[in-house]
Amino acid sequence: MRLSDARRDYYRKLAKDHGYRSRSAYKLEQLNNSYRILRSSYKVIDFGCAPGGWLQVILKEVGSSGKVVGVDIQDIEPISGAIILRNDIEDPTITDSILRLLNSKADVVLSDLAPNVSGIWDIDHARQISLTRNAFTITQKVLKKSGSAIFKAFEGELLNELKLDLKNSFHEVIVSKPRASRQESSELYLVCLQFTG
């Protein structure tokens, strides 16, 4: 068994043992341990929330006084404490829906969006960056000043331009690859701190 497969199996078993819906919950847990962006009472949006592993981590961190909105195009089993919006990231009404549900702007926006992978790398990379850009466009309207965001991105030729655009809206943009990500995977996370508004 390759090391990456062993790691994947390790996190899958851990998720099952701890009641998380997905092994990817550990990616968010590790990112949050490093950058402390989730805090008690925060209002948080999670784009691409299915099957709900990230929502479980967020709820644990923000507590009962926080507010959590998950957005996904897929149906997702309800999670106590989270508001789940079944919607397409490209729907122009999504911004108003989120602001209405939160009743104010968010402290944190998270995006773990990925396309259905075709196996043709250029297409998958372009689709994924397009999804992330849609999430970023909405973020600019729903994130409060000085707020934080984390965006999944696939490595490739469109990544640098995305990073530059993020740097125009945040004081700091850090590229991070949590241990729970497969090492051979091209996914990474852009941790964006101090939204300039």
Question: What size, in residues, is the chain?
Answer: 197
Which helix or strand (DSSP H or E) is residue 117 part of? none
Q: Which residues of 63-93 are buried (b: 16+ CB within 10 A; e: fewer)?
A: eeebbbbbbbeeebeebebbbbbeeebeeee
What's the CA gap between 49 and 53, in Å, rounded? 8
Structure token digits, residue 31: 């990112």
Structure token digits, residue 60: 């644990």
| Residue numbers annotated as active site | 152
Task: Count CA atoms closer than 13 A to 79's CA, side-chain side.
Answer: 26
Which helix or strand (DSSP H or E) is residue 113 part of? none
